[in-house]
Amino acid sequence: MGTEGVLSFWGVRGSIPAPGIDTMIFGGNTSCVSVEYEDYILIFDAGSGIRKLGQHLMEREDINVIQGSIFLSHMHWDHLQGLPFFTPAFSEENQFTVYGEGRRKLSLPKILEDQMQVPYFPVDMDTLFQAQIKFREVESKQVIQIEDDITVTPFRLTHPNAALGYLLQIQKVRIAYVSDHEHEAGRLSQNVLKMVQGVEVLIHDAQYSREELAKGKRRWGHSAWEDVVDLALESQVKHLFLFHHDPDATDEQLNERQFLAQQLFPNTTVAREGLRIPLSRFAE
Ligand SMILES: [Zn+2]
Ligand SMILES: [Zn+2]
């Protein structure tokens, strides 16, 4: 039996939205990935790409109530800035659970409320979000049971101010979402290697090349695509998506990156906004 569901990329950029003539093919919106499974929706990060996802969900005629989970990797703007424009959260019949980390003195809802207040944003979160929204602070390695056949496990990444990766399992398909993360020079992070071992789909931060990292981008919390390809080979993942592209990376450069990466690991796709892939393709 095939696995139902669709994996979609709504925003694939890192750092800041980058619309323009040079990014029309791969897209300029910041991080947002979804997995639609029957009438349930799992969302990874709320960058500017989540706005389009919201429109798509509102247009789906097969669902009356939109129900889902939003998993936040961390609170940098490029992973959060789309949230106030996620229209399904405005309707009281819809239901969402938001997962992420708090900070020592700031709870998860407080962090989200703070980005939606005067003078940064005209409407506060409580007024704007009429949907039933629960907030759940998570810890690394805590298995979250979403439904009978869906689990999500957060795990620690290496990034300034900390970030979490998420391992989603739906039936027999495992999807690892790893944004944002930096592998040390010449050494893959062992904890990430362990978590992504043999997964069907690895979506991984590949903002830079090794050359760019060496030219002053070390410790910025992002990976070189060559290291991510090494990770895919070593952990024997089935399909790799390079993700969280540098805002300055042009379509031409990303096309070339895909060509080079595929020489080393044929099942590589440079993630592109608007890409929708049925999960059954990964379950074979
Ligand atoms: Zn980021
Ligand atoms: Zn970040």
> How many Å is the maximal CA-CA distance in the chain?
52
pLDDT in tens, the chain (284 residues): 456 899 999 999 999 999 999 999 999 999 999 999 989 999 999 999 999 999 999 999 999 999 999 999 999 999 999 999 999 999 999 999 999 999 888 999 999 999 999 999 999 999 999 999 999 999 999 999 999 999 999 999 999 999 999 999 998 999 999 999 999 878 999 999 999 999 999 999 999 999 999 999 999 999 999 999 999 999 999 999 999 999 999 999 999 999 999 999 999 999 999 999 999 999 87
131 CA to centre of ligand 2 in angstroms: 27
Could you give the 3-state DSSP secondary structure of residue 262? helix
CA 166 to chain CA centroid, nearest Å: 9
Q: Which ligand is nearest to the CA of 74?
A: 2
Could you give the 3-state DSSP secondary structure of residue 86? coil
CB hemisphere CA count around 17 (13 angstroms) = 16
Cβ atoms of residues 47 and 32 within 8 Å: yes
The CATH code belonging to domain 6-281 is 3.60.15.10
92 CA to centre of ligand 2 in angstroms: 31
The single residue listed with the structure tokens 């029957």 is 38
Q: Which ligand is nearest to the CA of 12?
A: 1
Q: Does the reported pTM lie above 0.85?
A: yes
The single residue listed with the structure tokens 């869906």 is 150
